[in-house]
Amino acid sequence: MRILAIDDDPVFLELLAGMLRMIGYAQVTTMSSGQEALHELDFSGLLYDCILSDMQMPDLDGAALTAAIRQRTAYRQTPILMITAMSGKNTVDEAFAAGATDYITKPLDIIELRARIGMVDRLLAERRRLAEFARLVGQRAAAAEIKAEFETPIMIPGFDRGIEFLAMENYLLTLGVKRMYSTSAFAIHIKNAGIIFNKASGSTYVQMLGDVAAQIVDALKTEEVMIAYAGSGTFVCMTERDLGQATDDLEILINIGLMDFETIYASDRLPVPQVRVGEPARSAFLSPTKPTRIIERAIQSATTPPEKRPKSGQLVA
């Protein structure tokens, strides 16, 4: 993500750039005034993904700078985050009115910075995915409406890390006995998928699946996991390693990420998708069953509320 940061205090700019590097964002350009920033946007030939600007600056303050940036076609939708002292929080209203996206308070707290920039990152990823989706939909000129069947394990546009469900089943069938026993599967079920399917158009439903898929990928980005959409609002994940996080934590992480899209769903009069992560399922030694049984058990766990699941811990197929 290419970031442009503006503040009249060189110490703050150095601090901000350092902190952004610490959380994995190294492409940061700094400017000491709003005028310099506008010149950079107009003449550098670079397109910035995110703009961070101090609120209180001499000459052009944060709100005026935001308004000027929004007049540039290329930056009408670019996330602009205001940086303001706690004491100046009430002045952020002006910046929001001018088109700011969010704000961060000074002194910088790295947890807050990571959360806010992470949200921008997810927003940009979602926009890219939607743009790709629109492109794919546009290609299907004859099909004005996508026909999505609820139970069908469709391929979700833009879900690059996903594999076909059939391919996942086939993969399981090719595993030898030893690898089979070291493989586990868990499922992520969209609890309100049925409701959204009934209320939304086919393309909106597929977009919703894409939103959930993006959050799953984000939450599992450090894990070596194979993911497929199994239909009926359920994703299946398969891994040969232990997950680095508890399924409860994973569930919370995905659901929090989905809440970022609350306003988008509200505008379509749809509920925000909410997921349930099931218990991992493994094959049992000395109990030969068909290899794909672990997928069935994983799906069964995710589609069953925890209080109704058997209390034996990990599921064994």
**Token couple for 293:** 């049984």
295 exposed, middle or buried (CB, 10 Å; 0-12, 13-18, 19+)?
Answer: buried
> Which phi and psi angles does 231 have, rounded to 5°?
90, 170
With residues binned 3-state (H G I as helix, E B as strand, rest as coil), the percentages for the chain, rounded to 5, are 50, 15, 35
C-alpha 38, offset from chain centre = 30
Any contact of residue 14 with another protein (CB under 8 A)? yes
3-state secondary structure of 271: coil
Q: Which of residues 178-217 bind another protein (CB under 8 A)?
A: none
Give least dist CB 22 to another protein, A: 5
Question: Rg (Cα) of the chain, in Å, rounded?
Answer: 23
CA dihedral 5, 8, 14, 20 (to 10 degrees): -30
State the number of CA atoms in the 13 A half-sphere of 227 facing the CB.
24
Any contact of residue 252 with another protein (CB under 8 A)? no
Give least dist CB 3 to another protein, A: 15
Instruction: Name the residue nearer to another protein (CB basis): 32 or 304.
Output: 32
Give least dist CB 13 to another protein, A: 9
- Piece of the chain touching another protein by CB under 8 A; list 16-24, 36-44, 123-131, 190-198: 16-24
Give least dist CB 12 to another protein, A: 5
Instruction: Name the residue nearer to another protein (CB basis): 33 or 303.
Output: 33
The CA-atom distances, in angstroms, between 63 and each of 9, 45, 66, 252 are 17, 24, 5, 35
3-state secondary structure of 194: helix
Give least dist CB 28 to another protein, A: 12
Among 1, 5, 12, 147, binds another protein (CB under 8 A): 12
Give 296's contacts (C-beta < 8 A, 6+ positions apart).
Answer: 317
- Piece of the chain touching another protein by CB under 8 A; list 6-14, 62-70, 72-80, 235-243: 6-14
66 exposed, middle or buried (CB, 10 Å; 0-12, 13-18, 19+)?
Answer: buried
Instruction: Name the residue nearer to another protein (CB basis): 16 or 185.
Output: 16
Among 2, 24, 127, 201, binds another protein (CB under 8 A): 24
Give least dist CB 176 to another protein, A: 37
Instruction: Name the residue nearer to another protein (CB basis): 111 or 144.
Output: 111
Q: Which of residues 92-131 bind another protein (CB under 8 A)?
A: 106-110
Give least dist CB 33 to another protein, A: 14
Give least dist CB 253 to another protein, A: 14
Site string for another protein, 52-91 (x = CB under 8 A): ----x----------------------------x-x----
Any contact of residue 9 with another protein (CB under 8 A)? yes
The DSSP secondary structure of 224-244, one letter per residue, reads --EEEEEETTEEEEEESS--S
Instruction: Name the residue nearer to another protein (CB basis): 12 or 96.
Output: 12
Q: Which of 269, 128, 124, 135 is nearest to 204 (CA)?
A: 269
Give least dist CB 110 to another protein, A: 5
Q: Contact, 315 vs 306, CB < 8 A?
A: no
Distance CA 296, CA 288 (A): 15
Q: How many residues bind another protein (CB under 8 A)?
A: 21
Chain residues that interact with another protein, rule: CB under 8 A:
9-12, 14-15, 17-19, 21-24, 56, 85, 87, 106-110
